[in-house]
Structure 1
Amino acid sequence: MLYLNVYMQLINIFAFHFMLFDKQSARKSKRRIPEKVLFTFALLGGSAGVFLGMLFFRHKTKHVTFTLLIPSLTAAQIIAYFFIRSYLV
């Protein structure tokens, strides 16, 4: 249980920081983080971090794939997290 909590926190912190880094890179016209990397972080459990990064930094909000997939994935992962958590206790 502890490992799941630590994993979820770390993956979401990394995903959030990747969104920040990508936004800063976009502003400075520097090398960007590929979208497939951001989606990979989201699929591995970091969808809440990506979603919060979208909201806080107003980043990727015009991309339909992000605005539809990330919130749906976040909701599914939250439900799965609480299901797994209740099952393990």
Structure 2
Amino acid sequence: MTKKINAAAIFILVGFLAYATLWAELNYAALYVYALLSLMAYVLYWKDKRAAINNQWRIPENTLHMCAVLGGWPGAMLAQQSFRHKTQKIRFRIVFWFTVVINLMLLVTLATPELWALLAFNV
């Protein structure tokens, strides 16, 4: 079930990014940022999993969450499933999904000029 939810979330993100870059105001650089941060998140999860296996220094969870909230959550999702890492810690997963929601809200805000106009305060 989780794999289906993850696949759906990534599919929605890719669809929205395609729409936002082709027909809205979002710059193509957003695609590169998501790709780069996703790759970075994937590598961080891989390194943390290896460190856990070898009983070495671990990557702080806040670092993993920061990478996700900045746009690396698709790579983090793939890494969680690929490495079966951080999938049993309920608190981590709740915070992770919170970072996904925050990131998507920021993305929608950046890609919607009408929303910027609504948020503008005229003093």
Which amino acid is the alignment partner of residue 26 of structure 1?
A
The number of residue pairs the alignment matches comes to 87
The answer to whether 1:13 aligns with 2:39 is yes
Gaps of 5+ in 2: 1-26, 114-123
Paired residues of 1:50 and 1:70 also in contact (CA < 8 A):
no
Give the whole-Å Cα distance in 2 for the aligned partners of 1:38 and 1:77: 14
Which amino acid is the alignment partner of residue 82 of structure 2?
F
The answer to whether 1:2 aligns with 2:28 is yes
Bigger mean CA offset, 24-33 vs 75-84: 75-84
Which amino acid is the alignment partner of residue 50 of structure 1?
A
> Counterpart of 1:31?
57
Which amino acid is the alignment partner of residue 9 of structure 1?
A
Q: TM-score, normalised by structure 1?
A: 0.78
Bigger mean CA offset, 71-80 vs 25-34: 71-80
The percent of aligned pairs where both chains have the same amino acid is 25
Where relative contact order (Cα < 8 A, 6+ residues apart) is larger, the structure is 1
Runs of 4+ in structure 1 over 3 Å off: 71-85
Report the Cα offset of residue 48 of structure 1: 1.3
Gaps of 5+ in 1: none
Equivalence map 1:40-59=2 (5 Å) = 40-59=66-85
Please list the CA deviations of residues 13-63 of structure 1 after superposition, one character each: whole Å capped at 9, or x if unmatched. Answer: 000110000000110111110000001101111111111111110001111
> Counterpart of 1:67?
93
Q: Give 1 or 2 for the bigger CA radius of gyration.
A: 2
Paired residues of 1:51 and 1:74 also in contact (CA < 8 A):
no
